[in-house]
Amino acid sequence: MHFAEIDPNNIVLRVIVADSKEWCVENLGGTWARTYYSTPGKIYAGIGYEYIPEADSYRPPKPYDSWSFDFEAWEWKSPVPYPEDDSGVPRTWNEETQTWVLIV
């Protein structure tokens, strides 16, 4: 099983493999929560992720200040949707202009 050590703000400090949460607490101290590898509906923890106890899952770090988290889709969303076009050219987010720009 996989476990994440979390700080008082529910931010992941490290992720380990162990037999139980109790083993983690008794041998390493700290606060631990299980993380699920390849379990539908669960996000595997990573350093810097936030543990959301109500969902028993993890939220990745916020990619940009302007983005908001969609708890239904369980992902960060930009304030402007990614352009739907057939160009096949990838885009990246520009936080300063709040727009998607072509990667050339």
52 strand-pairing partners: 57
pLDDT surpassing 80 at residue 86 = no
- Segment 18-37 mean pLDDT: 95
**40-72 pLDDT, tens digit each:** 888 999 999 999 999 999 999 999 999 999 998
**What's the predicted TM-score (pTM) here?**
0.84
What pLDDT score does 98 carry? Answer: 96
**Helix boundaries (H) for the chain:** 21-28
d(CA 100, CA 92): 6
d(CA 83, CA 100): 7
pLDDT surpassing 80 at residue 88 = no
What pLDDT score does 89 carry? Answer: 82
DSSP 95: T
Measure CA 42 to chain center.
10
Which amino acid is it at 25?
V
**pLDDT band with cut points at 50, 70 and 90 for residue 84:** confident
